[in-house]
Structure 1
């Protein structure tokens, strides 16, 4: 199976916080998942921890390499730039990742949030999302129990799968 590609400064184990969530689901494909993930304005429809998505510079509504956007999550606004964007191609995983940031000085949080979606044998799809974080807020998040990042991203994954199954059912 494929792995996330990490930029310098965001490699797990060398950051202040890291989380990884993954699901493997039968009867869905990368093509079923991609439109829901690649269109941030749809995120709030299946992930309650996301709101107020906006693109800058007339970009959007879909993500693309270099696209600047913002959204609110975990109670704070995040500015972001899409730094990896590989659309689905048969036999290769789709990838999307963004660098996000919030706050200044001691409240500054920098994240790399990456997604990998790949078709597997037996009519299954694998959806992997991983995030690394740097900054004092990340140090505190890493100590929290239960882990809000693991739980939040699992909610995102489950909502994404449920939404994809619903759309697929409506289109059959």
Structure 2
């Protein structure tokens, strides 16, 4: 299976926090998932932990490589820039990633959040989302139990699959 491409400084194991969530489901394809994930303004419709999405530049509504945007999640006002944007294609997984940041000084949080969506055999799709985090808030999130990042990202995956199935019917 394919894996996330990590930028320098964000390789899991060398940051203060890392979370990984994955789901494999039958009856959907990467092309079905892509529109709901690549249109950031759609996130709040299926993921309650995202709000107030705004695109800073570019025509939208779809994210694009290099596009700056803003959203709120886990209590953080996040400025972000899309760093990877590869729509699904035959034999090639879809990829989308962004660098996000919030706060200053001791409250500064930097993250790399990446998604990989790939078609598998027998009509299945794999959706993998992973995030590395740097900064004091990342240390606190890593120590929190239950883990808010693991649980939150699982909610995102579950909501994405549910919304995709509803849109397909």
Kindly state the Cα deviation for residue 110 of structure 1 after the two structures are TM-superposed.
Answer: 0.2
Q: Which residue of 1 aligns with 2:5?
A: 5
Deviation at 1:57, TM superposition (A): 2.7
d(CA) in 1 for partners of 2:145, 2:59: 38
Tell me the residue number matched to 2:34: 34
| 1:129 and 2:129 aligned | yes
Structure 2: tracts of 5 or more residues without a match: none
TM-score computed with the length of structure 2 as normaliser? 0.99
TM-score (norm 1): 0.97
CA distance in 2, matches of 1:166, 1:151: 22
CA contact (8 A) 2:58 2:67 kept: no
1:59–1:67 contact (8 Å) kept in structure 2: no
Aligned residues: 169
8 Å contact from structure 1 (residues 15, 133) kept in 2: yes
**Is 1:22 aligned to residue 19 of structure 2?**
no
Does the alignment pair 1:51 with 2:23? no
Instruction: After superposition, give the CA deviation of every residue in 1:41-94 in whole Å (9 maximum; x if it has no partner).
Output: 000000000000001134421111000000000112100000011111111100
Q: Provide the aligned C-alpha RMSD in A.
A: 0.6
Distance between the aligned counterparts of 1:92 and 1:162, measured in 2? Answer: 24
SS of the aligned residue for 2:149 comes to helix
Structure 1: runs of 5 or more not aligned: none
User: 1:17, 1:138 within 8 Å by CA — same for their partners in 2?
Assistant: yes
Inter-partner Cα distance in structure 1 for 2:7 and 2:58: 27
Give the 5 Å matches for 1:13-162.
13-162=13-162
Q: Runs of 4 or more off by more than 6 Å in structure 1?
A: none
